Amino acid sequence: MTTTEKTETWSARKSAELYGIDEWSNGYFGVSDAGDVQVKAPTAEGEAAVSLTEIIDGLKQRGLDMPVLLRLENLIDTRISTLNESFADAIRMSGYQNHYRGAFPIKVNQQNHVIAEIARFGERYNHGLEAGSKAELMIALATLKNRESLIICNGYKDAEFIDLGLQACKLGFKCFFVLETLTELALVIERSRVLGIEPLVGVRLKLSTKVEGHWAEDSGDRSLFGLNTNELVNVVDILRDANLLHCFQLLHFHLGSQIPNIRSIRAGVLEACRYYIELIGEGAPLGYMDLGGGLAIDYDGTSSTSGHSRNYSVKEYCIDVVEAIQESLDEHDIAHPVIVTESGRATVAHTAILLFNILDITHFEPSPLPETLPSDCHEMIENLWHSLSEIKTSSLQESYNDVIYYRDQIRDLFHRGDISLRNRALGENIYLAGLQKIVQLLPQMKRIPAELETLPQQLADIYYGNFSVFQSLPDSWAIEQVFPVMPIHRLNEEPTRQAIIADLTCDCDGKLKKFAGPHGDASTLALHPINVGEEYYLGVFLVGAYQETLGDLHNLFGDTNVASVRINADSTIDFVHELHGDSIADVLSYVEYDPNALYQQFRSTAEQAVRDGIITIADRQQMLAAYSESLRGYTYFER
C-alpha cells in the first residue's frame, strides 16, 4: 500500500484517538485537520489555536535548534486560575465560611521565569510560594509582592533559615514555619526571642491514612516527615510554657505526590480534622489547614487509579476537601479554617513540552532473502531455511522454537570458526525473516502463547531522538513515570511503525519504552516512517513538573534550549522568553574543568604536533578554531 493510499484511509481524528490526546491533554492540545498538534490556549477573548510546527519554525528562525523545552505562558495562567476558581466555587456552593490560599512549591520547578510567572499570574488570587530550603525562601522573599500571599517553610531549618522567615514576618508576610521534627521548635523559639519577632508556627502531621501510587511510602506511620501524636502534644506544651501557643496557627499534612484516588484524599482530610478539633480544644488558635500537595494529573488519559492517572477532576477535589472540613468542624461548632494547598504538579505539568527531532532508526527486519541458498552453506542454515518455509498459524510455538534453536546452533558454529562471517550473516537474516513471519501470523491465533506475547516488542524499531532522558525526562528513568509522547505533525498519515525511543547518551537506560495511551500503558509507540530529507518531530507532554529540577549531566548533555511563548487571541505568537541551552564550555565548567585551560592544553598538543612534523601550521590553526567553536557549541546534535 502506498503512502497516498494509507493517507486516504487514515485521518487526523484517528491519530487523536490513537495517541489519546483528548483524554490526557485536559483540552489544552488537539490535532488539526492538517495533521498537526495544536496548542489550544485560553485567552481573554476565548480560545486560540496554534500548531506546534508553527512555533518550531519561529524557534528555528531565532536560532533555537532542537531539542527545545517549550513553555506555554497561557497555561501557567489558566492552571492557577482553574485551581483558585474551583476552590472559590466549592466554597461558595457549600457556604464554607473562609477562603482558599494556594502556595506553589518551588521545588517542583525552580526556574526563574516559571516562578516569576506564577507570582505574576497568582497575585490576583493571593497565591503564595512554598520553600523547602534557604535558597528557595530567598526566591520567595524576592519574588512575592503581595503580602496576603502565604510563604510556607517546609524542610529542615537552621538558624539562618529561621531568621530569614522571621524577617519576612516583620515585613508583613504571612510566613509559616512548618515543624518537621520536634527539635526544630526550640530553635524557632530561640531565634524568635533573639530577634524580637513572634513566629507563625505550623506542624506537619504524620497521618495514618495510606494512599496509592508511586509515592505511597510518603504516607502512613512510616512517613519520613511529620510529627506523631505524642510529639504533637509536646509541641502544644512547649509553646504554652513559652507563652507562644497563640503562634500555633497552621496544621499541615502531606499524603504524597500524585495521589490517584479521591477517597484517599478525603480520608486524609477527615483524619486531619480530628487533630484540628482536638488542638482547638487544647487552646491552639489554628485557623489554617494545609493539605500539602498530592493533587494529581492524568498522564495516561485513563482517568483511573493507576500511578499515572487519577479518578477525579480538580473540581471534585476542591468540593471533597471543602465538604470534608466543613462537615467535620460544623459538628463541633468550630470556625472554618483557611484552606491551603501546595499543588505543584497540577499547576505546572501541562505548561511545558519537550520537543525533539529523530536522527536515525534501527529496524529489526531482514534484508531481501536469496531465491535459493548457496551450495556451500552449512546444514544448520539449510535447516533454518526449511523452518522458515514451514511457519504456519497452527504451529507458531513449534516454529518459534525451531527458529531459535537453529539460530543458536549457527552462532555456536561461528564462535568455533566452523562457518564464515557471510554465512552467519545469512543465518541471522533468515532468523529475522522467521520472527517477522511469526509476528504477522500472531493475530490469527485464538490464544497467543506467553513466550510469543512480547515478540512484537522485541522486533520494534528503535528511533534515535535528539535529547537526553537523564537531563530532560529523569522521572521516566528513575521511577518509570509515563509521559504522553507523540509525533507533532503528519497525523493525517497512518503511523505504520512500532518503536521505542533511544536518546543520545549511549546508556542502556537512556530510552523511552513505556508510553501512555487510551487503553493504558503500551511498550511501543506508533510512529511514521522517516521521509528522506525531512525532519520528524516528536513531543513529550506534561513535563513541566520536576523534570528540569531533577535533570542531570549524564554524558555532559546540559540544559536544552528553552523558549516561553504566549498565544494571543488572534492566534499570533509572542516569543516572550528565549534561553539558549548549555554550551560545551558550560557543562565542562559544571564538572570542574576550566574551558580556557582545556583550550591551552589542546593548543600545546597541536603545537607539539607542528614541531614533530605531523601537521602544518595551517592544520594547527584550523584545529584550534574548530576546538574553540566546539566549546561554544550546543551539547546536543546539530545538523
Strand (E) or helix (H) holding 278: helix 262-281
What the block records as the C-alpha cell of 433 is 525473516
- List the alpha helices (DSSP H) in 46-157: 52-61, 73-94, 112-122, 134-143
Q: From residue 123, give the alpha-carbon distance in Å to each of 131, 149, 290.
A: 17, 8, 19
3-class secondary-structure state, position 107: helix
CB-based contacts of 430, cutoff 8 Å, min separation 6: 366, 369, 381, 384, 385, 388
Alpha carbon distance 175, 137 (integer Å): 10
What the block records as the C-alpha cell of 270 is 477527615
- Name residue 160's amino acid: E
3-class secondary-structure state, position 634: strand
Alpha carbon distance 344, 292 (integer Å): 10
Q: Of 199, 453, 468, whose CA–CA distance to 356 is shortest?
A: 468
Instruction: Please report where in the chains the cell 535558597 appears, as a residue.
Output: 135
Instruction: Please report where in the chains the cell 510566613 appears, as a residue.
Output: 175
3-class secondary-structure state, position 129: strand
DSSP 15: H
CA neighbours closer than 13 Å in the CB half-sphere of residue 291: 31
**By the 8 A CB rule, do 328 and 277 touch?**
yes
User: What are the phi and psi torsion angles at 205 (to 5°)?
Assistant: -85, 145
DSSP 171: T
**By the 8 A CB rule, do 82 and 349 touch?**
no
Q: From residue 278, give the alpha-carbon distance in Å to each of 229, 272, 328, 512, 594.
A: 11, 10, 12, 49, 60
Alpha carbon distance 301, 299 (integer Å): 6
- For the question of residue 506 being annotated catalytic, the response is yes
Q: Which one of 153, 169, 318, 506 is the catalytic residue?
A: 506
- Other CB atoms within 10 Å distance of the CB of residue 44: 7
Burial of 454 (0-12, 13-18, 19+ CB in 10 A): exposed
User: What are the phi and psi torsion angles at 593 (to 5°)?
Assistant: -95, 145
3-class secondary-structure state, position 581: coil
Cα of 142 vs its chain's centroid, Å: 27
| 37-43 β-sheet, strand order | 29-31, 37-43, 46-51
Strand (E) or helix (H) holding 169: helix 159-170
**By the 8 A CB rule, do 545 and 483 touch?**
no
CB-based contacts of 120, cutoff 8 Å, min separation 6: none
Active-site residue numbers?
506
